[in-house]
Structure 1
Amino acid sequence: MRTVELGRTGLRGSELGLGLASVGGMYAAVPQQQAVATIDRAWELGVRLFDTAPVYGYGLSEQRAGLALRGRPREEFVLCTKVGRLIEPGGPDLQPIWAEPPAGVGPRLDYSYAGTIRSFEASLERMGIDRIDVLHVHDPDLDFPRASTETFRALTELRGRGTIRAISLGVNHADVAARFVRETDGGPDLVLLAGRYTLLDRTGADELLPLCRKYGVAVLAAGVFQGGVLADTAAGTPPGYARAPRDVLRRIDVLREVCRTYDVPLLAAALRFPLRHPAVPAVVVGARSPREIAEAAAWLDLEIPERFWRALRSAL
């Protein structure tokens, strides 16, 4: 698998990254053995970029990341996690999407300087790995004034000491990320952008991607399958399809028709599309089994003719 420079960070990771929310039990439980096997299979395929967070399964994802990655040559992979939520007894910011959270604990929003340092140290302990390469400010829109000052100051100090290599944002809103880039001194080194530069939603290109291109901030594109609505299923109706707005359904139908015409798998197009932008060196996808990450790697490896992209632009 191709490795790429991650913007101005000095880090090199694989063009395909593995997001570890699914192995933390997002929407459905994943046995620990299967979770570790999924990460192991990703490694075999050449994946060298791994992204987790404390809130993913309330620590479970980080623990499983540690189990699978401890002992791997540390200079050969990029490890990312997030700050903004502390996992602690009685944490009130509960999310029903986690199928197997540890009993008695939950997340609590905390973008303070002290909370950021505590979160970082807790992540190191859960994973049992000596360093984290990329630390994302997770959902800074939930407390932007503090995230853009106290959290950012803590991350800047960690980077200055060499404790982390890069400051990043983990965001679902492109406008929030653009504001963070504009308003913080020096800004982040990376942005993990979920669902806002995809075949269906290109709002990330309005302001954020040109801004990141200007300042050398690499964008990691996540959520490229748009929550599953682009997936093909035996029944022909992907998860979430029935709830999608009419205009989105029309765009999906157009996408499928162009893909059929050029014999391009839709999910292969979804993976390759963000990488065509010069600000996007890598895409990050979730997987809950070795088969799923192997499928994603195969889709990414497919050659897609330029005439397909021209036809897609014309159709949409």
Structure 2
Amino acid sequence: MAFRAELRPLSAAGSGGPGGVATTTTVASSFGLGCAPIGNLFTPVAEADAEATVGRALERGVRFFDTAPHYGEGVSERRLGAALSGVARDSVVIATKVGRVIVDADGVPVPTGGTGSATAGDLSRDGVLRSLEGSLARLGTDRVDLLYLHDPADVDAALHPGRGALPALLELRDQGVVRAVGVGMGRNAPVARLVREAAGALDVVMPAGRVTLLDRTALVDLLPAARERGVGVVAAGVYNSGVLADPVGAPFFDYHPASPEQVDRALRMAAACHAAGVPLPAAAARWPLRVDGVEAVVVGARTPAEVDAFADAADAAIPDHLWTTLDAVAR
């Protein structure tokens, strides 16, 4: 599988790296850079390191970049925009999100294009338009390729005709301000409902942490609904916040300490991967692409070395018997 047409670069230049450097086709067609980490998720990241991370992604063939106002309260978008400022716009694909407004320490919305101290939910039509205006300013672009509704807490409000967030997204797509629209969330049921009730309006869904080696719950209801309606799937959160990247050094699941059972399964998966000569993170990044309906994977990185790790995973030789073993551990 690979990114559908709406999520591919508009220019043929997207197939090559900066300065004509050859890139890895698998990386360009199946992997995107998740930009929450360069927005200081968990750990502060220096401006120069954030720029270097995006630059390394470009060198390795990544052309899809996923960010959101919520990531660092605008910092991730600003840094991504700065890092891409010298790159031909049609050679990259930018995804961001709406549904939350950036506020300052007093809870007041920040000026358009600013950064803040927190975010607050806003699923109104006006909230969507204001949010996108701020994102475009921080990103330094006049359009977004993919616009997600981010963690909609109230599906009814999101669907409300005329005043809801989803109708606003569809208007923006019709106007050509965005090329595709979707929903990104870490809970399956609300996204599955939106897929079913949006009458085929969605282009893409992004289940976060629900199409992974450890958590396969999206395969029960959400992915079948998406396949039935022709909605693309981009898997995110493939390390489940850390336990599938390093079950000893980062035993976290969904941003909380992983349970003993989750850590145990991750350690057994790591042992099986080690025996097969495959890093656990490589298997975790690749596994979602084995799932029917998953077109691409977004992997977060905060350093060039972390970019190299998932880019290397794209073409790593993974024996079939390892997948069989990992599937058995997951059950």
TM-score by length of 2: 0.85
Unaligned runs of 5+ in 2: 10-27
CA contact (8 A) 1:191 1:218 kept: yes
Aligned residue identity for 1:136: Y
How far apart are 1:314 and its partner, in Å?
A: 3.5
What is the CA deviation profile of residues 3-45 of structure 1, one whole-angstrom value per residue up to 9, with x for unaligned ones?
A: 9232x73646631111111111111111111111110110010
1:124 maps to 2:119: no
Partner of 2:308: 294
Stretch of structure 1 that moved more, 216-225 or 67-76: 67-76
Structure 1: distance between partners of 2:103 and 2:34: 23
Whether 1:304 and 2:315 are equivalent positions in the alignment is no
| Aligned match of 1:9 | 6
What does the per-residue CA deviation read over 1:68-114, in whole Å, with 9 as the maximum and x for residues that have no partner?
Answer: 112312222110000011124456499xxxxxx956x5322211011
Does the alignment pair 1:143 with 2:154? yes
SS at match of 2:144: coil
| Cα distance in 2, alignment partners of residues 188 and 139 from structure 1 | 15
- After superposition, residues 165-244 of structure 1 pair within 5 angstroms as 165-232=179-246, 236-240=248-252, 243-244=257-258
* Inter-partner Cα distance in structure 1 for 2:96 and 2:139: 10
Hey, what does 1:44 align to over in structure 2?
59
Q: State the shift of 1:215 in Å.
A: 1.7
2:124 paired residue number: 112
Change (3 A) 1:237 1:11: closer
User: Given residue 50 of structure 1, which amino acid in structure 2 is its aligned partner?
Assistant: F
In structure 2, the CA distance between the partners of 1:79 and 1:91, relative to structure 1 (3 Å rule), is farther
**3-state DSSP class of the match of 1:4?**
coil
* 1:65 Cα offset (Å): 0.9
Opposite residue 194 of structure 1, the aligned amino acid is: A
Contact in 1 for aligned 2:6/2:180 (Cα 8 Å): yes
Task: Determine the structure 2 residue equivalent to 1:283.
Answer: 297
Residue deviations 1:56-75, cap 9 Å, x none?
Answer: 11111111111011231222
Q: Secondary structure of 1:82's partner?
A: strand
Instruction: Report the equivalent of 1:257.
Output: 271
Matched residue SS, 2:184:
strand
Contact 1:180 1:187 (C-alpha < 8 Å) held by counterparts: no
* Identical residues among aligned pairs (%): 43
Partner amino acid, structure 2, of 1:68: A
What are structure 1's unaligned runs of at least 5 residues?
95-100
Counterpart CA distance in 1 for 2:268 and 2:135 is 43
Change in 2 beyond 3 A, CA 1:31/1:146: same
1:129 Cα offset (Å): 0.9
Q: 2:36 and 2:274 mapped to 1: Cα distance?
A: 31
Whole-Å Cα distance in 2 between the matches of residues 199 and 25 of structure 1? 26
- Conservation of the 8 A alpha-carbon contact between 2:282 and 2:309: no
Give the structure 1 partner of residue 280 of structure 2: 266
Letter in 2 for 1:39: V
CA distance in 1, matches of 2:133, 2:32: 24
| TM-superposition CA deviations, 1:165-212 (whole Å, max 9, x none) | 111111001111101101112231101111001000000100111111
Question: Deviations along 1:214-249, whole A, 9 cap, x unmatched?
Answer: 22211111111111112338xx44343893223212
Does the CA contact (< 8 Å) of 1:23 and 1:288 recur in 2?
A: yes
